[in-house]
Structure 1
Amino acid sequence: MIKKKKAYALYRLPYSDTYTEIIQEEGSPETFFSSCELNGRNGFALAPFAVSEDLPILFILADRTVSGNVDDLPFLPDEDIPDVKCFCASYDSYASDFEVFHSKLKSGAYSKLVLSRCAVYESLETISPRTLFARACRFFPRMFVALVHTEHSGTWLAATPEVLLDSCGKLWHTIALAGTMPLEECQEGFDNPPVPYCYGVSTGGIGEKMSGDSGADGILWSVKNIDEQRYVSSYIKECVLRFTDDCREEGPYTARAGNVVHLRSDFTFTLPSCDDMGRLVDALHPTPAVCGVPKHEAFGFISSSETSPRGYYSGFMGPVGALGNTHLYVSLRCMRIDGRRYMLYAGGGLLPESNVESEWNETEAKMEAMRKCLAIKRI
């Protein structure tokens, strides 16, 4: 009889030297169909983009929790990673989806739509998921890194820059992150190197706050990127203000996430009741950063029109109630691991002025994080 793997989640918070593993010793993770059920729980949540009977919110119970130093994780250098080859990454399929989405934007049916895609890679030999987790921790110190396994979801690795909802004591924190530009396009002209940014809570520093001598942060952003970030920021603020009038906003500013930069705004606030946590997550997810505007109509269109199913990509994941804190992140820069096969996911926000080539290139840049973990060299 084949023994089932225990459900587990390893995670490393941004800028942390330690990782934590949550292990469920017996039974299967709990399944929820509303984020409101997260209130009062202690464990690790894995949620899909679209909750359904087939794709519920999975909650790994914290039967056992262990911690360790990231530097003690076994690290394999690039030369020891087995060769990984692309199995499927169709530009034509993406371009076809782009035309369907873009036509809706040009008609005025939507202000913004997020289109995602999946690229499939295979390795000659099996690579331990924990090895990939260790490499992600080493390569992306500013990001939330997590390796999650359940029998229902399979195994997912993420190195994500986007906070959905974060707490430290009585303070709560979320961000609006949208707009994307390759890092090399904006590095010239800086007199000072980027510095870590932390706002209000200990894990707020996702990415780096960048400063220069041209404008507010030395970066020239396109109108398309500015508009995209404005949609997300307005939505986040509206959601938070439904639950509290004690909200502080900072931004937008330019923040680095791996090999790309984004526009980011931060919101720090208090909640009158801990029971508001699940309700706020329900209101926030999915944000326009992974969905569209107007949200509910865009959500329905994306769910029925994307030809690449998202699964748990662009959902959210993170510890809930662990040590009194909650750290939920949008599941971006991620891949599903299935033996020697790796499904890499990425998406981008489309506006009426978008063009297919630049949007494809944006998804390529976003996939670079997981490609780096697999030691894939882009040609």
Structure 2
Amino acid sequence: MDQNSFFEALENQYAKQLPFVVYSRPINSVIKCWLQEDDTLHNAKNFKESGFVFAPFNIEEKSVLFPKANCTYLEIECSDIETKTIIQTEILPNETERLQHTALVSKGINSIKNHDLQKVVLSRCETKSLQDTNPITIFKRLFSTYKNAMVYCWFHPKVGLWIGATPELLFKVEAKRLTTIALAGTQAFNESESVKWANKETEEQQIVTDFITKQLEPYTKTMTVSEVETVKAGNLLHLKTRITSVLKDDTDLKSIIGALHPTPAVCGFPKAKAKDFILQNENYSREYYTGFLGELNLKQATTRNTNRRNIENNAYSVVKTQSNFYVNLRCMQLKDSSAKIYVGGGITKDSIPEMEYEETVNKSKTIGSVLE
């Protein structure tokens, strides 16, 4: 299938108001899409299903599933997509939003100083008008702009339209091998300055790493934790640690999701208390922001050499089940000719409310740069 036919199929699906997802994983030239045959709303019940899943921040709410059996799957290899140059218009600062967010952050800091929490991630939502409301066009810009992110456009007429470019892997599982990322700490990228991290960011990163390793420990046979490194996502820098483990034979996917989601990188620590604080104090619903999305239990064939099988090729195929989920960060919801852009940041005892607000402004520029 060529590029024109691929995107024409997507445009036709959207014109019919039928569910679809189009996406490309980080550092990958393959663009994939799932086209659901009707507008039935399917839910993932136990994460033993096969398809593409879109899960909310609050996992107690329902996760949407595009079942493999009910979808047409397409993919193309594409190193770049031609997109027209856009003139970026900045989202003008809103004094009411600034005051509301700094007050929220101050409340979070007080809760941490009172020893109720160690960290909490607080977010807000800002709205930007759109001149071009075609989500496929916006996805093309994302793909061309953010090569180190999972870029996607997801639509279901009974749920909504979401677009994002997330740098954060929640986890991936191939057979019994699990890989996950601890990603926390944020600063604006400046190529003329050397990178320096303050105690607040390094502490935030360590909280996430410690949480993940502790949560995974009951389910794993072995675990390896990498050194911390600095990574770039758009115009931002983050601290990153890679964690790999081999799962015990009796571990299921739902248990891992329950153990890791939401991580301290998008919720806080302790998880239950931080989540309660968010639900009670943010004064808006995150919906699928800081949820996760990705391929669920897809079969992948690999080849192994052997002298005992397949005499002709000295090889045989081994089918493994693979799932890969990305945290829904740097995302927006398109609705009524406008984009609702979701942004947040990790709050610790060393946080400064005004600087936390500025961090959310920088993050909104990252995803907002593809909008007209």
Normalised by the size of structure 1, how large is the TM-score? Answer: 0.82
Alignment correspondent of 2:36:
24
Q: CA deviation at 1:278?
A: 2.3
Alignment correspondent of 2:25:
13
Whether 1:114 and 2:104 are equivalent positions in the alignment is: no
**What secondary structure, in the 3-state scheme, does the structure 2 residue paired with 1:134 have?**
helix
Render the CA deviation track for 1:131-168: whole Å, top value 9, x for unaligned: 11111111100111111111232011110011101134
Which of 227, 230, 233 aligns to 2:203? It is 227
Alignment correspondent of 2:182:
176
Q: How many residues align?
A: 335
Alignment correspondent of 2:75:
67
Alignment correspondent of 2:368:
371
- List runs of 5+ in structure 2 lacking aligned partners: 1-14, 301-321
Q: CA deviation at 1:270?
A: 1.9
Normalised by the size of structure 2, how large is the TM-score? Answer: 0.84
Alignment correspondent of 1:76:
84
Whether 1:345 and 2:342 are equivalent positions in the alignment is: yes
Query: Aligned in 2, Cα 1:14/1:187: closer, same or farther, shift over 3 Å?
Result: farther
Render the CA deviation track for 1:329-355: whole Å, top value 9, x for unaligned: 000000001141100001101111211
Alignment correspondent of 1:263:
239
Q: CA deviation at 1:100?
A: 2.1
Alignment correspondent of 2:222:
246
Which of 273, 297, 307 aligns to 1:297? It is 273
Distance 2:269 2:176 in 1: 31
Q: Percent identity?
A: 28
Kindly indicate whether the alpha-carbon contact (under 8 Å) linking 1:49 and 1:313 is maintained by their aligned counterparts in 2.
Answer: yes
Larger displacement relative to structure 2 (174-183 or 89-98): 89-98
Distance 1:318 1:357 in 2: 34
Give 4+ residue runs of structure 1 displaced > 4 Å after superposition.
Answer: 71-74, 83-89
Q: CA deviation at 1:238?
A: 1.0
- List runs of 5+ in structure 1 lacking aligned partners: 190-218
Distance 2:250 2:173 in 1: 11
Give me the CA root mean square deviation. 2.3
Kindly indicate whether the alpha-carbon contact (under 8 Å) linking 2:176 and 2:248 is maintained by their aligned counterparts in 1.
Answer: no
Render the CA deviation track for 1:194-242: whole Å, top value 9, x for unaligned: xxxxxxxxxxxxxxxxxxxxxxxxx431111111111100010112211
Kindly indicate whether the alpha-carbon contact (under 8 Å) linking 1:97 and 1:307 is maintained by their aligned counterparts in 2.
Answer: no
Q: Which has the larger radius of gyration?
A: 2
Whether 1:38 and 2:51 are equivalent positions in the alignment is: no
Kindly indicate whether the alpha-carbon contact (under 8 Å) linking 2:39 and 2:156 is maintained by their aligned counterparts in 1.
Answer: no
Render the CA deviation track for 1:238-283: whole Å, top value 9, x for unaligned: 1221111211110211111111111111111222348522210121
Distance 1:347 1:87 in 2: 16
Distance 2:228 2:341 in 1: 29
Alignment correspondent of 1:165:
171
Kindly indicate whether the alpha-carbon contact (under 8 Å) linking 2:56 and 2:290 is maintained by their aligned counterparts in 1.
Answer: yes
Distance 1:274 1:25 in 2: 35
**What secondary structure, in the 3-state scheme, does the structure 1 residue paired with 2:288 have?**
coil
Alignment correspondent of 1:203:
none
**What secondary structure, in the 3-state scheme, does the structure 2 residue paired with 1:320 have?**
strand
**What secondary structure, in the 3-state scheme, does the structure 1 residue paired with 2:266 have?**
coil
Q: What letter corresponds to residue 193 of structure 2 in structure 1?
A: E
Q: What letter corresponds to residue 333 of structure 2 in structure 1?
A: R
**What secondary structure, in the 3-state scheme, does the structure 2 residue paired with 1:344 have?**
strand
**What secondary structure, in the 3-state scheme, does the structure 2 residue paired with 1:322 have?**
strand
Which of 330, 334, 337 aligns to 2:331? It is 334
Larger displacement relative to structure 2 (361-370 or 325-334): 361-370
